Amino acid sequence: MRNLVIAENPKNWSLELRDATMISARQYLTDPAYFDARGLRIFNLCRSYRYQSVGYYVSLLAMARGHRALPSIETIQDLKSPTLTRVVAGDLDELMQKSLRHVEGDHFTLSVYFGRNVAKRYDELSSRLFRLFQAPMLRAEFIRADGEWTLRTIGPIDRKDISESHKAFLSDAASRYFAETPRAPRTRRGAQYELAVLHRPDEENSPSNAGALKRFAKVARELSMNPQLIEAEDFSRLAEFDALLIRATTAVNHYTYRFARRAAAEGLAVIDDPASIVRCTNKVYMAELLDRHEVPTPKTLIVHRDNRDDVESAIGLPCILKTPDGSFSSGVKKAETIDELKTLLDDMFEKSDLLIAQEFTPTEFDWRVGVLEGRPLFVCKYYMAKQHWQITKVQGKSVDYGKVESVIVDSAPKNIVRTAVKAARLIGDGLYGVDLKEVHGQPKVIEVNDNPNIDKGFEDSILGDVLYERILRWLMERVDRRRQGGGRI
Name the E strands within 50-96.
68-70
Q: What is the pLDDT of residue 186?
A: 40
Residues near 92 by beta carbon (within 8 Å), at least 6 away in sequence: 125, 128, 129, 132, 151
Domain regions of the chain by residue span: 2-76, 83-173, 193-273+475-485, 299-359, 362-449
Q: What is the pLDDT of residue 483?
A: 82
CA distance 469 to 439: 34
Q: What is the pLDDT of residue 288?
A: 86
Q: What is the pLDDT of residue 187?
A: 40
Q: Please, which residues bridge with residue 252 across strands?
A: none
Global pTM exceeds 0.85: no
CA distance 485 to 374: 23
CATH of 299-359 given 3.30.1490.20, 3.40.50.620, 3.10.20.30, 3.90.180.10 = 3.30.1490.20
Shared fold status for 83-173 and 362-449: yes
Give the CATH fold of the 2-76 domain.
Oxidized Rhodanese; domain 1 (3.40.250)
Q: What is the pLDDT of residue 184?
A: 42
**Below-70 pLDDT ranges, the chain:** 1, 83-84, 87-89, 181-191, 326-330, 396-397, 486-489
Instruction: Judge whether 72 and 59 are in contact, CB under 8 Å.
Output: yes
Q: Which pLDDT tens digit goes with each residue over 345-375?
A: 999 998 888 889 999 999 999 999 999 999 9
CATH of 362-449 given 3.90.550.10, 3.40.50.300, 3.40.50.460, 3.30.470.20 = 3.30.470.20
DSSP secondary structure string for all residues of 45-62: --S---TTSHHHHHHHHH
Give the CATH fold of the 193-273+475-485 domain.
Rossmann fold (3.40.50)
CA distance 441 to 367: 12
Comparing CA positions, the residue from 182, 190, 195 lying closest to residue 228 is: 195
CATH class of 83-173: alpha beta
Comparing CA positions, the residue from 249, 230, 251 lying closest to residue 239 is: 230
Q: Is 118 helix (H, G, I), strand (E, B) or coil?
A: coil
CA distance 100 to 122: 8
Q: What is the pLDDT of residue 63?
A: 75
CA distance 432 to 446: 13
Q: What is the pLDDT of residue 35?
A: 82
